[in-house]
Structure 1
Amino acid sequence: MDSFIYTGLPARVVFGAGTTARLGAEADALGMTRPLVLTTPPQAADGEALAALLDGRAAGVFSGAAMHTPVSVTDAAMAVFERSGADGLIAIGGGSTIGLAKAIALRTDAPQIAVPTTYAGSEMTPIIGQTEDGVKTTRKTLKVLPETVIYDVDHTLSLPPVMSLTSGMNAVAHAVEALYAENANPVLSLMAEDGIAALVRALPAIAAGPDDRAARRDALYGAWLCAVCLGSGGVALHHKLCHVLGGSFDLPHAETHTVVLPHALAYNAPAVAPAMERLARATGSADPAGALYDLARAGGAPTALKDLGMPEDGIDKAVEITFKNPYWNPRPLERDAIRAIIRAAWQGNRPVC
């Protein structure tokens, strides 16, 4: 076995059904006396419900979280945080809300509790992405890692099937790249394969029956493992492309990951044979990139960037931004080949390894 380095991240996980009932106790354990609850506008009622569980201790509810964590939204939330005298953060939602909590924690070092309602995985990572003037930048620091994560299967039951699929594909992307990231290691590879397998098994079952609790449990478990892979592992071409596309064209996060993943994987496949063996087992297919594309298509998820609102003349712009500050990648980036996979993703073609 080759030498490797594995870093475990200091996060407490509470997993199961009905686990939100522990919110007050978990807030006490972190010394929160006036936590501010964060949500997106559609989940404002969920935020109010969480605030009610805190028996009058909540500093309030800020329901303005938005995709890609715009700095302007963080500024508005910071004003509420400071005015209310809050000393902690409770985020209920997906990557948008958890990203906002991270942005506030970065500025204040306030403790965080994350209550995910999707499979996005931001809650298990020390990574924060923020968008300003149409440019999304990321950084990695333990200051933004939530101290406690409450995974409650009950919160995922109302997630619509197509949203479940795109959110799950977003999670799968974290684990796929952990298999061949620069700091890949055998511990994360075990988690990645198990997480991908759980999601690939669960997502079609959720599409057939959104209230299938066993499938929802498997999906949330898989998403947790995939998120650990993202937090402790690394990223490559796929995540670089998604950050470029999301930040430059304001494309929806999970849907962009769903479209791009099969194409980025197909690009890297010739250079990552051991990872492809694990992915073949996890997906049950000798063509993992094609299998992931087929999974998305069969579930009614978008498979073309043009359907997400990206203009065709944005392809060259995306290529240029990608090459300005490229991530590490197992296969060297070739400009014409990268342009070709972005075009294939824009058109919605099935990838070819």
Structure 2
Amino acid sequence: MCVQDVEKVCEEIDNLGLSTDHNTAQFASDQITLSNSFPMESICEDTVVAEEKQSNFTPMLRSGEWSDIGHRPYMEDTHICIQDLAKNFNNKLQNEETVSFYGVFDGHGGKGASHFVRDNLPRIIVDDANFPLELEKVVTRSFMETDAAFARSCALESALSSGTTALTAMIFGRSLLVANAGDCRAILSRHGLAFEMSKDHRPCYEKERVRIESLGGFVEDGYLNGQLAVTRAIGNWHIKGLKETGTHMGPLISEPELKLITLTKEDEFLIIGSDGIWDVFRNQNAVDFVRRRLQEHNDVKRCCKEMVEEAMKRGAMDNLTVVVVCFQAEPPPHVVVQRGRVRRSISAEGLLNLKFHLEG
């Protein structure tokens, strides 16, 4: 079996969830090795960024988006892309940098919550008295205020009762702020390597499980209180025991986790996708796919469409939404991929047998 065949089979093994032992990924200025992705903590804002990487770099923002109902009977995903948040809502800010806003909202139990958040969260952010000076506090507060506003709407119109996960990305100057409540995901491509900008809020996430149990909730068969597959979301006020009642805080919260970084010239683009995308794309695989498409035609919207179509070819069953925000006008540069020595827990004969079965 040639090297390319081995690599293809190993990728298929990864997609099946079988383990292979890869060397730790590293990168220099012109070469990288592959990995799934780097965690959020590895690109924290406290990391010292070389001054030469920051100087003379101004992100040149361009974005694209695409969504599809997939194999579901109803479309509950929605999204938003706003180039200038303040201008969009006629908020006259003097001598302030433009704040761009992008979001993906994955509804469940109906589209009421996802559409409500799409239509109201950006305005609530802009209307906050501390916008844009204390943006982290403003965003956190706005997620929770949007949740409370949706609860009031549901009390007046029960047909709206539903829930949604929410992930937003805001870019101002060289700063990127990602806020996440739920299992949508944001991945940054930095010189071709995938970096996590969010964590999936699911009951299997240890940090979330501890928080849930501290609030009197529980995880049953992988579900929050045996009812919901996510541990943070806006809405779901109609599900008993999940949200706060009076002075008691329930285990399902709308408070987002935030991630703030300073963009450098090595940052290429941000991928934001609903969980249907990540059911069939690994983080590094998604970055590789987007880079190749941008190198081919440099059309961001077309790239998003192709990613959704590829997800469907891979058997995605959920609604599918993806937003890609590029920080450069030019397509990503070609890099030399240096594969390290790989130790695998399956023999060459086993690889051949698996390849035979995969190919039918």
TM-score (norm 2): 0.27
Q: Radius of gyration: which is bigger?
A: 2
Of Structure 1 and Structure 2, which has the larger fraction of its residues in helix? 1
Of Structure 1 and Structure 2, which has the larger fraction of its residues in strand? 2
Which structure's relative contact order is higher, taking Cα pairs within 8 Å and 6+ residues apart? 2
TM-score (norm 1): 0.28
